[in-house]
Structure 1
Amino acid sequence: MLILWVGLHQFPIDEAAIFVISVVTAQGYMVWRNLPTAAASLNSIQAGKPHMLRWPVIIVIALSGLQIWLNDPLFTQRVLSGICLFILIVMLLGIRREQALLDRVVPAGFRFGREIKRVSLLRINALVLAIVITVNEILIASESLVVWITVMPLLAILMHGFYWFAVLLVLPNDEANRG
């Protein structure tokens, strides 16, 4: 996203158009990058479910087209907040039912003489989304497009590191189980 932003500034293109093109291209890359993994996950769960991927892909393509058509940086920035807010709401609703889900997916008990410890990552995922929404809204309210386009890729890197650090903190310690 940042490289495309810098590269497109070499041409006589409106800054708003450069911003929208850069962000929409990054969004497209994220979908293209994650779609095969999502399809494989659906195939491993139950045959016949890959058609479920059609709706999210259609929605993302429609949102991308709408962003390009409107050519409004504020709308493009709000799309990020909107998508994160939607996923955050789904995760918060999931937290209410996570114990029942964990009971269905990973039954409590022992396997091979070891206790199975169940870990839910919904709270970590929800926290990361809340941070992204907060930073995005602060940048929209108080900073220019140049600052936004610089900070958001850096935030993505920091959030990736924070996410895995938090995951490692909540995973059960195998050493304690051996002793």
Structure 2
Amino acid sequence: MIKRLSTRLWHVTTSIPPIRPENVLPIVIMMILWVVLRQLAISEDNAFVVSVVVAEAYAIWRNLPNAAYSLKKVESGKPGMLRWPVALLIVLAALQLWLNNPLFTQRVLTGFSVFFLLIMVFGIRREKDLLDRVAPIAENDSVTVERVSLLRINALAAAMVVGVNELLIAFETLSVWITVMPVFVLVLHAFYWFMVLMALPSEESAV
């Protein structure tokens, strides 16, 4: 049993996919802007807010085509539903720049994460219905298929973001926040995929 577990852990650990460059780019943009603005003697508050908001804006802009494509696959005309969320995000970004309050900008991340966490929790309450809708099993299917839900892993990841963000807000400076967060993103990526791969049925159990 110990040998099987160690083999499983080794296989999962070595199977974690590398983080994609496009997912790292917003973090790189944030850090470069922070360094450049601080070198230009821009105040810490201004540099922080501008760096984070620009990184957020780029991340959202980069994901819009994928979101529109996913909605279009569900039903024609659905991409129009993105107008209001995009408008809201633009207003939120403008509000952050206008307020120029690092605490508000940090709490925006907490707010998004809590919102995502609540969605996952509500999904967990109706997990079977969601699985039946996303991965239905035919009644005449003789092959046993083990369906896996990632709702709990997603919820845990969101909770980790909230926890780390709030700890940094409470105990650390802005420069520490902007240094630790990129490292945390890499750790979270590895942890998330480790949990996902552990949740998937092993090859031995699938046989």
How far apart in 2 are the matches of 1:155 and 1:55? 31
1:83 matched to 2:112? The reply is yes
- Deviations along 1:59-111, one digit per CA (max 9) or x if unpaired, are 21111100000000011001110111111111111110111111122123578
Please point out which of 143, 149, 158 is paired with 2:172: 143
Please point out which of 43, 49, 69 is paired with 1:20: 49
List gaps (5 residues or longer) in structure 2.
1-29
1:52 matched to 2:92? The reply is no
How far apart in 2 are the matches of 1:80 and 1:42? 24
How far apart in 2 are the matches of 1:88 and 1:9? 34
8 Å CA contact 1:110, 1:116 repeated in 2: no
Structure 2 SS opposite 1:137: helix
Structure 1 SS opposite 2:144: strand
Q: Tell me the CA shift for residue 140 of structure 1.
A: 0.4
1:158 matched to 2:187? The reply is yes
Normalised by the length of structure 2, the TM-score is 0.81
RMSD: 1.6
List gaps (5 residues or longer) in structure 1.
none
Q: Tell me the CA shift for residue 8 of structure 1.
A: 1.2
8 Å CA contact 1:109, 1:115 repeated in 2: no
The equivalent residue for 1:4 is: 33
* Counterpart amino acid of residue 172 in structure 2: E
How far apart in 2 are the matches of 1:149 and 1:107? 43
1:71 matched to 2:109? The reply is no
* Counterpart amino acid of residue 25 in structure 1: V
Question: Quick check: 169-178 or 106-115, which moved more?
Answer: 106-115
1:116 matched to 2:145? The reply is yes
Normalised by the length of structure 1, the TM-score is 0.93
Identical pairs, percent: 57
Count of residue pairs the alignment pairs up: 178
8 Å CA contact 1:108, 1:118 repeated in 2: no
Question: Quick check: 141-150 or 109-118, which moved more?
Answer: 109-118
1:94 matched to 2:123? The reply is yes
